[in-house]
Amino acid sequence: MLLNLQINYSLLTIRKRTPIIIGPCGPLPDPLNFTGCPLSIKKRKSAATKRRLDLIISSYAGDAAPARAALADSEPSARASALLALEKLGKLTANELTAALSDPDAAVRRRACELAALHPNVPLSQSLEDTDAYVIEMALWSLGEREEPTDLAVICKIAKEHPESLVREAAVAALGAIGDPRGLDTIFEALKDRPTVRRRAAVALAAFDGETVTEALRLATRDKDWQTRQIAEDLLEITEGSAD
């Protein structure tokens, strides 16, 4: 044999050399003392990662106490995991989520914005003014998921003026998801932005109807970007086809 082993399976003893078995989480040097991947991972990870694993395991058991305690953990990843664990347990409160929106770490604020999509009673106005572009992007996504027109004027301003195209794109997507006609002019303007934003604006027009929308789609079929053209052509085919 390649490893020159003699194994007595009836006694489950290994002679000469202990084989290295590759398990789903990596090499397991002693198959007789295999304790499972989660415990093996915990032995190799940092204290912060162990705390995260503990709260995740506890949440699967229905215990919210470790996750709630981890909201004050010094490690941002643990705080973000705590938010998710509490949400999955159905025990994340509006106050806890609101507090997380002001967390000093952007990753935690982003997670809080993501979960806010399921909590329409938690305002996201301050998140739309965040210094981190990815936090703003996630806040816009949540507002779109909530189809909430409360911050419509701010969303329109972001779509027009924010220096990051990623954020402008997210704002246009939110306007399409919300579907408020007051956002149409901003979407029309976005059809003159850079390609990624123009594509998103073309998709956003699917939420509206009317001659001005149809004309904007016709103009978009002559866009320099082929993906924008394709989106506009597909929407026109649906719109004009249904009209026939």
Positive or negative torsion for Cα 166, 137, 219, 237: positive
- Which fold would CATH assign to domain 151-244? Leucine-rich Repeat Variant (1.25.10)
Cβ(55)–Cβ(78) under 8 Å? yes
Question: Which of 6-10, 55-59, 224-228 is least confident?
Answer: 6-10
pLDDT digits (tens, 9 = 90+) for 24-41: 444 444 443 434 444 444
Rg (CA), the chain: 26
Compute the C-alpha angle 35/39/45, nearest 5°.
145
Q: What is the mean pLDDT of residues 160-185?
A: 97
Q: What is the mean pLDDT of residues 204-217?
A: 95
pLDDT digits (tens, 9 = 90+) for 98-119: 999 999 999 999 999 999 999 9
Domain boundaries, the chain: 151-244
Task: State the pLDDT at residue 216.
Answer: 96
User: pTM score, two decimals?
Assistant: 0.77
Confidence of residue 58 (pLDDT cuts 50, 70, 90): confident
**pLDDT score of 187 more than 50:** yes
Query: CA distances (Å), 186 to each of 111, 192, 201, in order?
Result: 28, 10, 9
pLDDT digits (tens, 9 = 90+) for 74-98: 999 999 999 999 999 999 999 999 9
Task: State the pLDDT at residue 14.
Answer: 38
| Burial class of 17 by CB neighbour count within 10 A (0 to 12, 13 to 18, 19+) | exposed
